A and B are shown apart, each in its own frame.
Chain A
Amino acid sequence: MSADAARASDVIELREVTRSFGDVVAVDHVSLGIRQGEFFALLGPSGCGKTTTLRIMAGFERPSGGDIYLRGRRVNDVPPYRRETNLVFQQLALFPHMDVYDNVAFGLRVKRRPAADIAGSVRRVLQLVDLAGYERRRMHELSGGQQQRVAIARALVNEPAVLLLDEPLGALDLKLRLQMQRELKAMQRRSGTTFVYVTHDQGEALAMADRVAVMQLGKIAQLGAPEHIYSRPATRFVAHFIGDTNIIPVTVRDRGADGAAILDANGVRFAATDADMRPGEMRHISLRPEKIRIAAAHAARPDGHGGTVTDVTFLGPLTRYEVSVAEGLRLVVQTQTDSEEHFRKDDRVSLSWPPSAAVVLKD
């Protein structure tokens, strides 16, 4: 792999791509490669630059710096109508003056494909999105979920190298959104198309994506498989953004014989397997609430830390406790709701977790 040629396995590659609007840098030296056939999610809060990154891929924004490659070809100056990408818009952008068939056929007609081919392609793609028989419907005669599927069909029918999706499920209600998530994933598998999916909903990204890039302030904070990002968050931001977590400021006290570090949080001492720390260093760790075991004070394990329950929230299958462990150290604990063993406010409890649960963060 030479530095100049794009990696062959990547459908889209961004190299040091920057996009600024006046003084605002929306995308800041982003480099990433998206592999053929994968479901890739760009995840981040609003204003993190994820939509701008997507629009750079689609060709609606030109990078102020850096290069973008599509199937190995540099496409910085290629307008959207000459790119092999198609975008499913956040607001869908279905043409209101056309019916389902004309909307879906638009791209093929523009490319002057023979009418018979167009009819066949449209029929196949409408079957794929489960809209066969809706050809002559107007946009206002469709439900939200159906409009969604027309938008996807209109893009997919062009057999793009990459299908770009800009929070397309944002306007749907929760139930429909969950259903469309499953359907999208299924469509992606069936069509074998590469999907790049922008969302601010971490649940959506974790549920659908093969790989996720978490963006913050125009930069990629972490990139990896959903499981990896969840269990080994790199930064405080990522740990907070993906799921619920305890961020604990710690001081490194010592290095154990087994290579584990002994950490100190307000006098509470525990081990972490993560290496590469020097004694005396100040760091932050992430400790997922469901990794913490909670037990009655009398049944405490030897490595347990004593504390007092300060708050209990019943969440149905799960129960969430807030436990004050030491002065200034309050941990959130989440357990399966258990009829046998549950605690009330002011109960004395003992908390424990394995060294591997304490993930040392970069910042």
Chain B
Amino acid sequence: MLAFIARRRAPLQLLPAFALTAGVFAAAMLLLFSYSAFTFRGGQLTEEVSFLAWQKFFTDPFYFGVVTKTLQLALEVTAAALLIGYPTAYALTKVRSAKFLVAAYIIIFSPLLVSLVVRVYGWLLLLSDNGVINQALLAIGVIAAPIRLIYNETGVVIALVHILLPFMVFPILSVLLQFDHALREAASDLGANRLQTFLRVVLPMSLPGVVAGCQIVFTLAISAFVTPELLGGGKVQVLSRAIWFNVVDVNWPLAAVEAIVLLALALAALALFDLAARSLRAMRPTGSPRPRRDSPGGFIDAFLRIVLFAVLAFVLSPLVFVVINSFNGSAFNSFPPQGFSMQWYQFVLGYAQFREGMVNSLIIASASTLVAVAAGMLAALALTRGGIRGRGILNAFFLSPLVMPRVAIGIAVFILLIRLRVLGTTGSLVLVHAMLSLPFALVLLTASLVNVNRTLEEASMDLGAGPLRTFWSVTLPQIRAGLVVAAVFAFITSFDETEASIFLVRPSNTTLPIQMFLYLEQYQNPTLAALSTLLIAATIILVVVALRFVRGAELARLVARR
């Protein structure tokens, strides 16, 4: 009956999400396609239809080099993330202390919660010539002169691996955690030792997680912009940077072509990984798995533990040194810090651009979270119970902004907003951010709605509660955790959004991460460390508060299930 009621309202419930994705995202992408056929000649953009931009892109060897570099960088990052991520995930399955496990999850997840610019800044502190690593190596006499770790590809790869590691670890971990321990026992019963069991049973069966992890990491790595821009020293010439420079030069047709190529690369990568995943599907375990954490012991486990601690240190170190540097007495990002000082905090609080950026970011993030969660909730309801045809296609449509490189979205929306004459308005930024957050909200809310016990809703309606009352007093309490997580995700997505927004802001409504990006391009002093420390503290508070919500709800549900 609930389904019946939802069915009649399903089209209406889909409307907000559809308007957001179609009106902002799809319209902008279509416009981008059409702009790739316009002409840029002698520093002037005309609407004359030609394919000069396409011609230039595919004949100039420079762009071939850019594409090669982009793919090479993404491959390197994916390989490195896999090499670090797999042992990390495997080590996590052996952790027995629940508290340590939660801490490790949060630490590995933390790069996603901290602003992109903050993370990049942390790596600047660690990797630069007078940064932590070089100074430490010099001090113990391993090297005589600083080695170049930054403003080249090495630095970009390190920072990207750091940022994308959680996307590799969690898919692999989730597969490993579902591993049927009986299979391991069967292998050992059949005479396989631990290494053979791992190589012949565990590893092949965890490949779906590996493919999923590589898919996400690769797709995100080919479109990264801020990291290669700030850490590459102009030497890491990837597509996203080419787009940025062409936009600045008003050569939009060429930028459009580059964005389309980037999009094609992302889709091709997705399809290839999907193909790989499909060929692995036959390996899904049969029967209900019997998970068990291995008892620790032996050389391998000691090694795994070392790996885990090293990875946790790797993940945390940029943030830790950001915090340390914020109290640096010196005006340079020198290490070790010279004296203790609060001057950078004073400077941050007095710096008008940061203050305004913070206010703008808070307004835009709050408003776009509200829009994204509301639209996502309605769409999730319609998709999970509306009984509408073409659910798969609609879902793919709503999720499509996720696969699109942020830089490509940025330039496409930039052109759209100019045509609509609303570029730089706060309202337009709210809608764009809501569009970018919508896929996260939709996925999380759909997942929680699917888990809702429908019989409870029926019980509520049987007892006389109408659909609205039932949603409020029976459905909502069950999805509270999902709702909180969706809101946090949407808020952070908007608050940290840099790579698309950089095309869209005006000085009057520049958001905080973009102010930080601009500042970092010009200055190198601990001001940003102080600001970053404040942001990290705010994020910790937000996560702790959110966890409290989630834990209470989850706990109640877990206990009830038992």
Contact = CB atoms under 8 A, between A and B. Distances in A.
Contacts of B4: 62
Contacts, number: 79
Interface in B82-105: none
Nearest to A107: B463
Contact of A79 (B461, B473, B560): B461
A203 to B, nearest CB: 26
A351 to B, nearest CB: 48
B1 A60 contact: yes
B297 interface: no
A80 B560 contact: no
A107 B477 CA distance: 17
B453 A110 contact: no
Interface string B435-473: 000000000000000000101101111111110011001
B79 to A, nearest CB: 46
Chain A, interface SS category: mixed
A79 B3 CA distance: 12
A86 B464 CA distance: 9
B1 A154 contact: no
B462 A81 contact: yes
B456 A93 contact: yes
A158 interface: yes
A352 B337 CA distance: 107
Contacts of B562: 140
B322 to A, nearest CB: 41
A245 interface: no
A106 B458 contact: no
A81 B5 CA distance: 12
Interface residues of A, number: 28
Chain B interface residue number, banded: 20 to 34
Given A59-B1, A95-B474, A97-B477, A85 B459 contact: no
A80 B556 CA distance: 28
B464 A110 contact: yes
B459 A81 contact: no
B560 A139 contact: yes
Given A93-B453, A96-B560, A81 B458 contact: no
B557 interface: yes
Interface in A106-152: 106-107, 110-111, 138-140
A140 B557 CA distance: 10
A110 B5 CA distance: 19
Interface string B291-330: 0000000000000000000000000000000000000000
A272 B279 CA distance: 67
Contact of A110 (B455, B465, B478, B557): B465
Residue of B455, B464, B469 with most partner-chain A CB within 10 A = B464
B465 A79 contact: no
B560 A87 contact: no
B557 A95 contact: no
A287 interface: no
A58 B556 contact: no
A79 B470 CA distance: 13
B190 interface: no
Given A62-B4, A139-B560, A93 B455 contact: yes
Contacts of B561: 96
Contacts of A79: 1, 5, 461, 466
A97 B556 contact: yes
Interface string B469-490: 1100110011000000000000
Contacts of A154: 459, 463
A89 interface: yes
Query: Which 3 A-B pairs have CB atoms at the shortest separation, nearest pair first?
Result: A96-B560, A107-B463, A93-B459
